[in-house]
Copies of this chain bind each other. A is one copy, B any other.
């Protein structure tokens, strides 16, 4: 009967219009509001009897602690900001859902900020400050001033696939330079002599690193090198491939594309429009390891980023720094692994 009464009461309270607070629970459970609060705090000392009363009342009221209020008083919002640019991150969905999964394990949630242009960072950071995030994962380019702003506010910051060699910030990065370099080394070993290096957007540090890795390996050797400027897109890769193939000056036997999507565009164009025999006459390589690279029609030779381990590392580093703000910055560089596909022989 007592329970019945409580249920009725609880329903009434709930229907007053607003959700139950810890005071409502306290009243129903017949304990103090402090006691209710303790029951929802891990590791607090509460007697079994009190806990039972509170649990019952909370359940009947549908009570959940208000994370906003908790954040205000404790200084911990349990929210991290994730800043991500669409264009430059091709594994965008996977990275984001992996991040979410790893953070969720620690009961931390993601406030999402997507950037159209890297130049929007300032505008976005203003919003980030307002939301009192506990930390930031950034897959976007920051200026030194923007990095300092995070430091000044005591907000831990970890970059994803952005290296700041001259700056002391934490980052997790795939070794784009070395990955591309070793891929090109393989192409050289297989006897390729005339290279096209197709870069991504000029403002993408990831593309720059990959391009530099390729060029560094080729420089000084008796090979032909053409650099063309892509934008990571399929369409532009097709156009550039046509331009190169139509030019009387070049007769390439290897296309080094700084991402998989461009490699696929290049491949389609070469096969369909130029009836090229791949990899016999022309080799094509990409970078990233997107799903399509493994499709029957492509079986692309490329470099796989160890996405899961990278995301795990980023989350771990950020959480550590939220707990211990004094921790020094740390850079973690992960090697990519070559996928030996059918579009290039690497010997």
Contact = CB atoms under 8 A, between A and B. Distances in A.
A259 interface: no
Contact of A296 (B72, B154, B268): B268
Interface stretch (A125-133, A166-174, A250-258): A125-133
Interface in A44-97: 62, 64-69, 71-72, 77, 79, 82, 86, 92-93, 96-97
Contacts of A269: 296
A301 to B, nearest CB: 17
A335 to B, nearest CB: 26
A330 interface: no
Interface in A135-181: 152-154
B234 A295 contact: yes
A110 B96 CA distance: 13
Given A72-B68, A93-B93, A112 B100 contact: yes
B113 A112 contact: no
Nearest to A233: B291
Nearest to A296: B268
A79 B82 CA distance: 15
A122 interface: no
Contacts of A238: 296
Given A68-B72, A71-B68, A297-B272, A109 B109 contact: no
Given A92-B93, A93-B92, A67 B112 contact: no
Nearest to A271: B297
A271 to B, nearest CB: 8
A96 B112 contact: yes
Given A86-B93, A93-B92, A96-B114, A17 B67 contact: no
A97 B96 CA distance: 12
B297 A68 contact: no
A297 B297 contact: yes
The count of identical subunits is 2
A116 interface: yes
A82 B152 CA distance: 31
A19 interface: yes
A66 B132 contact: yes
A193 interface: no
B295 A264 contact: yes
Contacts of A131: 67-68, 109
A101 interface: yes
A14 B101 contact: no
Contacts of A114: 96-97, 100-101
A13 interface: no
Nearest to A149: B62
A14 B151 CA distance: 12
B96 A64 contact: no
A292 interface: yes
Given A66-B72, A297-B297, 11 more contacts: A65-B130, A66-B130, A67-B131, A96-B96, A96-B114, A100-B112, A109-B127, A111-B112, A112-B112, A234-B291, A264-B295
Closest 9 CB pairs of A and B: A67-B130, A268-B296, A64-B129, A110-B112, A93-B93, A100-B114, A97-B114, A268-B297, A68-B132
